Structure 1
Amino acid sequence: MKLAFVLDQLDSIKIDKDSSFAMMREAAGRGHQLFVMQQGDIVWKDKLVIGFSRKLTLINQRDKRSHWYQESLSEAIPLQEFDAVLMRKDPPFDMEYVYSTYLLELAEQRGAFVINSPRSIRDHNEKLAIAKFPQFIPPTLVTRQEFLIREFLNEHDDIVLKPLDGMGGASVFRIHSADHNISVILEMLTHYGTRTIMAQRFLPEISQGDKRILLIAGKPAPFALARKPRPGETRGNLAAGGIGTAQPLSERDLEIANTVGPQLYKQGLMLVGLDVIGDSVTEINVTSPTGMQEITNQTGYNVAGMMIDALEKCM
């Protein structure tokens, strides 16, 4: 297969943690060809979506201290000439990201196979998408109206506030009804009532970890990565200092995954990361879900192999 990865700068990738690298290493080990490009390399030209792509060769793949890749000179290749194009650009999901999904959707119309589906990425905001599965979510409010947030806080006493476009736990606040900073937090997050945010009842089960469940082609990997907050924190995100511990899926985890997974896969979302705290889904990650390497290193289960298996079955 010829696989094209849309990524951030290669030098920014941490090869001991990055899931895109895990997939590239697995694919290269099976003899597949790798190509890389960035968002700015995707263009509409001569009625085609072109990727100014560079062929990638992995070297020193297991030594994070060494230079780990070689790449060729850039070559203009229509995206439909690849067997698959994997959109793995990290958020923020800004307008440049949206423009990239428009271009990738045009490429699909000419026969390109894009993962995840550009339209479905746009349609599944990673915070709001949980509303499509209300049976699995905690008490949740989405609004920019301060009085509604205050009512929600009075009802639940202990809540979490988050922007709809955040990542890695950025700008996530936990507030109590007796908090003296409620007004300034609401002003900051809602930009004085001009920006919509999400409020959720605080889930004390976060102490046992914010579980990342990886769904591949509609099926869950058998282990979740429980990201436990460091002392003094309520965010389990690895980017916020959380500690990840792999653990088998619980019965509830499986119930959620086996319900949500097939529905998302039907919409072209081949690789999804569910965030589950206790028994509740709190986010559905569709842009560039992570956690593969941590699960594999701790359990021996080859998550990247599961992903490349799924790709090979599509060919």
Structure 2
Amino acid sequence: MTSLGAIFRPQVAPERLRSVARAADEAGLDQLWLWEDCFFESGIATAAAALAWTERLRVGIGLLPVPLRNTALTAMETATLRRLFPGRFAVGLGHGVQEWMGQAGARVDSPVTLLREQLEAVRALLRGERVTVEGRYVRLDGVALDWPPAGDRKDGEWGAAVFAGARGPRSLRLSGEAADGTVLDANTAPEGIRRARRLIDEGRAAAGRGADRHEIVHYLSCATGPDAADRLRAERTREGHDPDAGPGVAGDAATVAAAVREVAAAGADTVVLQPTADEPDPEGFVRFAAEQVRPLLARPA
């Protein structure tokens, strides 16, 4: 069955996270994903809190913008959370929105180069390796984690993956080469997922990683409730899409489950329902995903 998650959007005040995470955990949702969008909320701080407040919920960050983050610190924080909550925490790295990176004084000339260097170094550090590298942006001198995550990553072990956020051809091929999985944002329609899978596989083949599992996580813009269609239209408009035909789904559980099946058939391994920025009931949204949509995915279409 397709793994199902939901997003706690950073437009929701951080003090609301506890009730949303607990609602997701109690309702049986598979995953809760968080964003480190500028200038809302920290990804690591919110992930640590969500993990501590829950018992079984898997928590992912999609994404940490690498221009804001020191490579060694990202590896240290990731390793700490993986040791504290084995198998429940996955991290995603992305090159960030360049306008925001400029506002923060962190913009770089080659975001793709920086993302590659950070992916390679962070994954090596999490494997317990001692890393010395003199890259264009990442420079490490004999760095090794004293407390790397216990054990090596096994194929299919969700919590050990390092994801990359990607959209363009270069970034998608890079993700196939240097990451364990890819996060595709809600602007990606089913045909875009199929295209992404092809480009990712090209990268995997070029790096000799064709036998490795590479998980695709797809964010599916979703609205439910009496004003669902209007809210989804407004969301599509904000993102520059056709308000009537852009990506996303609005409707009841059966309608949403059908949309989940469609993007899964296009190549998504995990589908994460992304509420609209003005979702009025975040706790209700995660319960809807877990209690109404998820059971339908276990049944034949």
Question: Do both proteins adopt the same fold according to a TM-score greater than 0.5, normalized to the shorter chain?
Answer: no
More strand by proportion, 1 or 2?
Answer: 1
| Structure label with greater radius of gyration | 1
More helix by proportion, 1 or 2?
Answer: 2
> TM-score under structure 2 normalisation?
0.30
> TM-score under structure 1 normalisation?
0.29
